[in-house]
Chain A
């Protein structure tokens, strides 16, 4: 038996009895960053493939989501900083070993690109708003800029494909780089968060899609991504199971601990298995309102981020 306690009465705010350094804004951002990366990835990919007309929701209509998601996500990130006035310090250096530095720089590039992508389609997807506001007619430079963006869309798309993948992976690597938190400290978290981000992105595109063809295609993509995600989750659990004592203890939180219901109930069953089944049933030919699996996937992705951020901070090496 071993019992350890602080005799000097250590009770530091947010550190003891367990870490509460990262709160809901981080979880929210990890979700929003993932979904924005997913949507932008598909938008850029389908544009490069020349399928703009065939899949307008993916390329055009869903592109309203990433700028809003990234803006809210960035605000959430800054909100969770405690030394906010020094945020600019992120951009005076690039630290190759720090995932957060990678993320800060990638966000600095992807966020404006997401706005440019939306703006280049603005007149096309919101003709009524443009008719009322007459922005492009009133301001000549905006019209010139829009024209410039339209001619250079392919280059933006080529830039977005690798950048969104980095953004998606980074949301996971951010956590897995902390070897002090055994629940996070596994290499599979990067691909897992990327897959989850792409899957929620595909689900958002399904919600925006108007044609049956597009809904079906993204239903299939989503189904494939969910299967990959389930496999990665199995590997993650296997990794804990084969890990050291601290990782075994971390696994207890997800398997038979405080977060079992949240993780297996809400993330794995409600967020992955049920939507996958529904999408499969729909592919076979039965009628399923696509909004149900798509919403389940998105909610599952959101809960997944909250579970990982909260549970990870309960796991530690000492005390």
Chain B
């Protein structure tokens, strides 16, 4: 089992529904977010290229946050999901410093918080909140170890990229381009 998320940048309209769904589902404190939308404009007028991306923790295979954590609070759980155990976290910030995606933040209660791929929903057989609400259905979620899963098929047939691959983290959120 290796969970992965595939996001179609050609379908995404940047509505921020995933961001709001996540904040509601996970009770994210006001002013914080576990996922966010970036708008990238490439080129110069009139030849412009716009790309919209819903970004979050990339649940890397080679997760620098897990490597740097001094207590083991940051760990890789079932299906390769990177998780933080709140009552093991001392709030030192080492994982935040080590994340090339700046996907982690210090919760007002002190511990470090981040996207969990909604593992509490996965356990019930549901999709992550962001995926389930997407109005353009541009987000896909599934098992990368299963060659017949939707995500595996998409990555087989479509051009895709990951964020900052040069950081050597082997991220598991893929963007179709």
Contacts and interface: CB of A to CB of B under 8 A. Distances in A.
B3 interface: no
Nearest to A1: B44
A21 to B, nearest CB: 4
B16 A319 contact: no
B69 A95 contact: yes
A318 B16 contact: no
A81 B64 contact: no
Interface in A71-105: 80-84, 86-87, 89-90, 92-93, 95, 97-101, 103-104
A83 B90 contact: yes
A95 B94 CA distance: 13
Contact of A104 (B38, B70, B109, B167): B70
Nearest to B66: A97
Contact of A95 (B64, B72, B164): B72
Contacts of B111: 82-83, 86
A6 interface: yes
Contact of A178 (B37, B39, B41, B97): B97
A134 interface: no
Given A84-B110, A177-B68, A15 B164 contact: no
Contacts of A14: 105-106
Contact of B38 (A5, A22, A89, A317): A5
Contacts of B52: 7
B100 A179 contact: yes
Given A83-B89, A99-B68, A15 B105 contact: yes
B10 interface: no
B99 interface: yes
Contacts of B40: 2-4
A144 interface: no
Interface in B85-103: 87-94, 96-102
A179 B167 contact: yes
Contacts of B93: 21-22, 80, 82
Interface stretch (B28-36, B117-125, B132-140, B141-149): B28-36
A21 B96 contact: yes
Nearest to A309: B97
Contacts of A11: 31
B107 to A, nearest CB: 8
B158 interface: no
Nearest to A18: B102
A316 interface: yes
B90 A101 contact: no
Interface string B8-21: 00000010100100
Given A95-B72, A97-B68, 10 more contacts: A2-B42, A11-B31, A14-B105, A95-B71, A100-B92, A177-B68, A179-B64, A179-B167, A180-B98, A317-B166
Interface of B: 14, 16, 19, 31-33, 35-44, 52, 64, 67-73, 87-94, 96-102, 105-106, 109-111, 163-164, 166-168
25 contacts: A4-B39, A6-B38, A7-B38, A8-B33, A13-B32, A13-B106, A14-B105, A16-B102, A22-B93, A80-B93, A81-B110, A82-B93, A83-B90, A83-B91, A83-B110, A83-B111, A84-B90, A86-B91, A89-B89, A93-B72, A98-B69, A100-B70, A180-B98, A180-B102, A318-B100
